[in-house]
Amino acid sequence: MLYDNRKVKLNDGRSATLVLPNWFGFKHKKVAEKFEGDLEYMASLSIKGWVYAVYKAHKPNLQKGHKDFVLMWVETASGNPKTFIAGMAAAEMDEHRYQNGRLCRSCNEIVYSVDVHDYRHCSCETVMIDGGKDYTRCSQEGESVRIDFLTKEITV
């Protein structure tokens, strides 16, 4: 699994590292070059039971019917991995852009569980989280935070 870890500031002023799994291993720079719209990788998110790599289009071409967000994913059911792409409007993304995470006070990492069977722990293994967005369970250690992947705000 590749990661796109990012330094973040919490709303109370502390700094931390947000652990961002790159679910499909897409090379974001190449994706941004290949598709128009000035794409920026947001996160790997589970939406209605499927995991997507979500990109924000800073300049969507509305005349071509492009949306504010680009969703990419890989299906391997046929044996040959195939990449798919879809669009999502900002209003629809509003209910998917948040996720609960867990902050470790020892190693200062924030982890989140992408999907139901996605078990995550911080690098010092003090804090764990599992169950994705809908069945979240986590260790007693650490602090719960709310992640807004769009604005990059982390709220304690």
In the bound complex, what is the minimum distance in angstroms from residue 141's beta carbon to Zn ion?
A: 8
CA 124, CA 141: separation in Å to the nearest integer? Answer: 12
Query: CB under 5 A: which stretch of 12-20, 76-84, 103-111, 144-152 binds Zn ion?
Result: 103-111
> Judged by CB under 5 A, how many residues of this single chain contact Zn ion?
6
Q: Which of 2, 86, 89, 124 binds Zn ion (CB under 5 A)?
A: 124
CA 94, CA 100: separation in Å to the nearest integer? Answer: 15
Across 10-151, where does the E strand assignment appear? Answer: 15-18, 21-22, 39-47, 50-57, 69-75, 82-88, 98-103, 109-111, 120-121, 128-130, 137-138, 143-148
Q: Which is nearer to Zn ion, 100 or 126 (CB)?
A: 126
**Residue in the structure block whose two tokens are 């209605």:** 48
The values of phi and psi at residue 95, to 5°, are -85, -5
- Say whether residue 15 binds Zn ion (CB under 5 A): no
Q: Which is nearer to Zn ion, 16 or 42 (CB)?
A: 16
In the bound complex, what is the minimum distance in angstroms from residue 105's beta carbon to Zn ion?
A: 8
For residues 58 to 97, the per-residue mask of contacts with Zn ion, x marking binding by CB under 5 A and - elsewhere, is ----------------------------------------
Q: Which of 11, 15, 106, 144 binds Zn ion (CB under 5 A)?
A: 106
CA 154, CA 145: separation in Å to the nearest integer? Answer: 6
Q: Which of 45, 72, 122, 147 binds Zn ion (CB under 5 A)?
A: 122
Max alpha carbon distance in the chain (Å)?
Answer: 50
Residues within the interface to Zn ion (CB under 5 A):
104, 106-107, 122, 124, 126
